[in-house]
Amino acid sequence: MMRFSLLSKIQMAMVAALLALLTVVVVRDAGAQTAPTRIISVGGSVTEIVYALGQEHRLVARDTTSNFPAEARALPDVGYVRRLSPEGLLSVEPDMILAEEGAGPPETFDVLAGTGLPVVSIPMGYDLLAVERKIRAVAKALDVEDAGVELATQVAADVAEASQLAGLRDQKVLFVLSMQGGRIMAAGADTAAQGVLELAGAQNAISGFQGYKLVSDEAVLTAAPDVILMMQSHRPGATKPADVLAHPVVAATPAGRAQAVLQMDGMLLLGFSVRTGQAVSELAAGLAAAGS
């Protein structure tokens, strides 16, 4: 009787162990089946990372700023990163949204929260560590963390090498976002513009404020920039280099007298993503040529 009881206990333990194993397998299979396969990428830098990780087959839409690589432009466009509508996002039936921190408006994401749709916010920042964090955050959301570590390491090496080879010596650069009513909208601290200038070894000519603001004529004169930096834009009415150089105050600065203006692709320059090493190299080379 005792032997039978012991045998029964062993058999029951084996059955329990087998059931536990089957449960784990079922859970894993269920997880695999529910992995997001219809993802919207909001923010050009996030989209670049998704492609660099080889996960573009899971994208069903992107925002207007997601224009690189070129294949991304074939995806449905759900609108500008900070002017998204819940209707536009939900129309493509996503099962996840990857969005840059600061995407909005907040009301849209409040509506999405009520639907239960997973929304992953990807942290922003304007230095090398921020780029690495961004890559790893996207990789974690896509469940390809090993690939994320590899990509972040490679991008960090690219940026470090580009910064080391930049060769600039505190060249003073005024980043002009636009002109409004005859005044310059410039980049201050805690901006992507200042961050990429610092990586290239250059100096933001304007200081004393954060973000992008309209600055006084006196501030532009005091800044005395060596080079004006702008984004390329083909939008009707966009501020052009000729508009900036024609400004009498800019004309009186070293950059104005030398007609030293550099334009670069905005997403490459300010994206702080997988192409940041390339951005630093091209920026340093362009600034050196413009300021010579």
Q: Is the pLDDT of residue 151 over 60?
A: yes
Residue 17 has pLDDT above 60, yes or no: no
Residue 85 lies in a domain: yes
Rounded Cα distance, 26 and 15, in Å: 16
134 and 182 fall within a common domain: no
* Domain-ending residue, one of 140, 164, 188: 164
Task: Evaluate whether residue 55 is within a structural domain.
Answer: yes
- Same domain membership, residue 158 and residue 171: no
Check whether residue 61 and residue 95 sit in a common domain: yes
- The answer to whether position 115 is within a domain reads yes
Do the Cβ atoms of 173 and 230 come closer than 8 Å?
Answer: no
Give the mean pLDDT of 258-271.
Answer: 97
> Is there a single domain that holds both residue 141 and residue 226?
no
Last residue of a domain, one of 125, 143, 164: 164
Judge if 127 and 186 occupy the same domain.
Answer: no
Q: State the residue range of the domain holding 68.
A: 39-164
Same domain assignment for residues 96 and 203: no
pLDDT of residue 218: 97
Of 134, 164, 194, the residue at which a domain comes to its end is: 164
Tokens of 272: 């702080």
For residue 274, the domain's CATH number is: 3.40.50.1980
Do 217 and 156 belong together in one domain?
no
**Using an 8 Å Cβ cutoff, are 151 and 135 in contact?**
yes
User: Which pLDDT value is given to residue 22?
Assistant: 38
Examine the domain organization and report whether 139 and 195 are in the same domain.
Answer: no
- Measured CA to CA, the distance from residue 72 to residue 62 in angstroms comes to 7
Report yes or no: 253 and 176 within 8 Å, Cβ to Cβ: no
CA terminus-to-terminus distance, the chain: 98
Indicate the burial class of 133 (C-beta count within 10 angstroms; 0-12, 13-18, 19 or more). Answer: middle
pLDDT in tens, 194-241: 999 999 999 999 999 999 999 999 999 999 999 999 999 888 888 999
In a domain, 199, yes or no: yes
pLDDT in tens, 40-81: 999 999 999 999 999 999 999 999 999 999 999 999 999 999
Helix axes 145-165, 276-290, angle to 10 degrees: 20
Total domain count, the chain? 2
C-alpha separations of 181 from 184, 206, 251 in Å: 9, 20, 17
> Does 30 fall in a domain?
no
Residues 156-207: tens digit of each pLDDT: 999 999 999 988 877 999 999 999 999 999 999 999 999 999 999 999 999 9
Same domain, 183 and 249: yes
d(CA 281, CA 200): 7
Same domain, 94 and 202: no
Q: 25 in a domain, yes or no?
A: no
- The verdict on residue 282 lying in a domain is yes
* 283 falls within a domain: yes
Instruction: Tell me, yes or no, whether 176 and 253 share the same domain.
Output: yes
Q: Looking at the structure, tell me whether residues 152 and 195 fall in a common domain.
A: no
